[in-house]
Amino acid sequence: MPKIVDHDARRRELGEAFWRVVLSDGVEAASVRTVAAEAGYSAASLRYYFPTQDELLDYTWQMVLDRALARVGALALPAVPVEAALLVSEQSVPMDAERAAEAQLWFSVAAVARTNERLRARLEEVHATLRDGCIRIVAGLQQVGACHPDRDPTAEGIRLHALIDGLAFHGATLPGVYTPAQMRAMLRSQLDDLRSAPV
């Protein structure tokens, strides 16, 4: 009997291999040759499933996004609202090697999206999801009295999102420029500032 190939499983294997290369050596090292070798397949096999590197990048990015969302969903949130908001906000900041690699992948997708309409549309969708999540964080703090009632949750959520994106960018492009403790302190300062009246 001919061997039955699970194509979805094969695509996952290749996506996992791409991600392992990114984690160990960065996005720039994730060539067709290195990813195929990491997966134990030929370059031709990789191209069968992902004819272009952009398609492999897109697939792996979605896989990583799904894991990041699962990580957030599995968090045991502290009872103190600001501490819970801080923990959730930290999930998109390069506090460890995995999140630093996620940030690298995010900005690699952003670079490719300039000339790839499909990736650009998905990038805009993820950007909006993160922004809206930050707005919900601020609105939630306001509901429990941890954000001044005169603060605009939309404006403050966008500010929080901008800080998170900035920290992610610095972590992706200048690894080590800020320590996890420094990044946590910046996020905490931003969240603590919400308690005071707007200037």
CATH number at residue 116: 1.10.357.10
- Total domains in the chain come to 2
Domain of 46 in residue numbering reads as 1-51
pLDDT (average), residues 33-44: 94
61 shares its domain with 146: yes
- Does the residue 144 lie in any domain? yes
Question: Would the pLDDT of 130 be above 80?
Answer: yes
pLDDT (average), residues 112-119: 86
- Tell me the Cα Rg of the chain: 19
> What is the percent of the chain where pLDDT is above 90?
65
- Does the residue 199 lie in any domain? no
120 shares its domain with 189: yes
25 shares its domain with 121: no
Distance CA 99, CA 147 (A): 28
pLDDT tens readout for residues 149-189: 999 999 999 999 999 999 999 988 898 999 999 999 999 99
- Does the residue 47 lie in any domain? yes
Mean pLDDT score of the chain: 92
Q: Between 162 and 2, name the one with better pLDDT.
A: 162
40 shares its domain with 61: no
With vertex at residue 68, the alpha carbon angle to CA 65 and CA 70, rounded to the nearest 5 degrees, is 110
- Does the residue 25 lie in any domain? yes
Task: Write b or e for each residue in 20-54: b if 16 or more Cβ atoms lie within 10 A of its Cβ, otherwise e.
Answer: bbbeeebbeebebebbbebbebeeeebeebbeebb
pLDDT (average), residues 40-64: 91
Q: Between 90 and 175, name the one with better pLDDT.
A: 90
- Does the residue 198 lie in any domain? no
- Does the residue 91 lie in any domain? yes
CATH number at residue 3: 1.10.10.60
